[in-house]
Amino acid sequence: MKRAILDVMKKYETIIIHRHVRPDPDAYGSQMGLAAILKGNFPDKKVYCVGEGEPSLDFLGEVDRIEDSVYDGALVVVCDTANTERIDDARYTLGAELVKIDHHPNEDVYGDYVWVDTEASSCSEMIAAFVEEFPKELAMNEAAARLLYAGIVGDTGRFLFPNTTPKTLRYAADLVAFPFDRTEIFTKMYETPLNAVKLSGYILQNFQMSENGAAHIYINRPLLEKFDVTPRDAAQLVNRIDSVIGIKAWILFIEDGDIIRARVRSKKPVINGLAKEYRGGGHPLAAGATLESEAEIPEMVAKLEALCD
């Protein structure tokens, strides 16, 4: 499939790259990293990255603003997005052909060309592998290496998560051979506003954990207002309790407008099936879901506890 994807990319003069809503470093890294590779190797092509911008990731790059007409006769590529409902910018259907590149379980099959590798740590790792596959046709460059490294770091939790494989570390080693500022990446990715630090203290003091190692906490609107943080800021704190002795899996519930977002994490129990029950999905040990009301919280917590037995 990688051969077919490279061939179709060579065919088009205009390539528009999408990723998922509420982007994380891997979404930006894979999207903009692929764009940097295409621009570096095919300078005559017009390559765009679209979607809503995320200010906390502006240090990696900024999205393009394009008219609908640009999609006429263009190739569209969607990176790091398992489900069509999570693709940022619904115009992804306006192109001539569609490519899906992703590392999540392929439960929502879309696209004319589909490359899914659930063993990859990140979509950014897949893009690095893509370049390595075709050494006579593609070359890595510093801009792309910086972006892909940031994406890998983000999705592996600084190489601490179980999805970090020997292959992941080898790709990372190849990327850091380029002279970009790694210190800046780590600083920008993990710096935390003072109010979010105070919220993390609240989480540490108030989360609940059952005897079988299932933990949870609910951050409602009054708490968000009290600590002056956004739902996205709160979501970044999902791993604050991961080092607690005895913890097996946990959920961070966050009120976000009319819905409640659930960030689900695990050390061993497979939790993406649980997330799927609540309008979500993801990886076996890292997933997300959407609850329609607070009434669903006790039910989801009970199901998490059953998984931890």
Q: What is the pLDDT of residue 296?
A: 97
CA dist 177 and 180 (Å) reads 9
Q: What is the pLDDT of residue 168?
A: 98
SS3 225: helix
What residue has token string 């630090």? 197
CB atoms within 10 A of CB 90: 10
Domain ranges within the chain, ordered by starting residue: 1-189, 195-308
Q: What is the pLDDT of residue 249?
A: 97
In CATH terms, the superfamily for domain 1-189 is inorganic pyrophosphatase (n-terminal core) (3.90.1640.10)
Q: What is the pLDDT of residue 282?
A: 85
Q: Is residue 17 a contact partner of residue 34, using CB atoms and an 8 Å limit? A: yes
- Provide CATH code, domain 195-308: 3.10.310.30
Q: What is the pLDDT of residue 115?
A: 98
Length reported for the chain: 309
Give the list of residues 6+ apart from residue 70 with CB closer than 8 angstroms, or none.
Answer: 14, 16, 46, 48
Q: What is the pLDDT of residue 146?
A: 98
CA dist 122 and 244 (Å) reads 26
CA dist 250 and 84 (Å) reads 27
Q: Is residue 251 a contact partner of residue 301, using CB atoms and an 8 Å limit? A: yes
- What distances in angstroms separate CA 259 from CA 190, 199, 256, 263, 289, one per listed residue? 27, 20, 5, 13, 10
Cross-strand partners of 101: 79, 115
Q: What is the pLDDT along the chain (309 residues), one digit of tens a residue?
A: 999 999 999 999 999 999 999 899 999 999 999 999 999 999 999 999 999 999 999 999 999 999 999 999 999 999 999 999 899 999 999 999 999 999 998 888 999 999 999 999 999 999 999 999 999 999 999 999 999 999 999 999 999 888 999 999 999 999 999 999 999 999 999 888 899 999 999 999 999 999 999 999 999 999 999 999 999 899 999 999 999 999 999 999 999 999 999 999 999 999 999 999 999 888 889 999 999 999 999 999 999 999 998
CA dist 103 and 62 (Å) reads 23
Q: Which two tokens stand for residue 259?
A: 């819905």
Does the fold of domain 195-308 match that of domain 1-189? no
Q: Is residue 135 a contact partner of residue 112, using CB atoms and an 8 Å limit? A: no
DSSP state letters, 178-200: S---HHHHHHHHH---HHHHHHH
CA dist 194 and 178 (Å) reads 33
Q: What is the pLDDT of residue 179?
A: 97
Write the DSSP symbol of residue 20: B
List, edge to edge, every strand of the sheet that includes 97-102.
46-49, 14-18, 75-79, 97-102, 113-116
CB atoms within 10 A of CB 259: 14
CA atoms within 13 A on the CB side of 31: 31
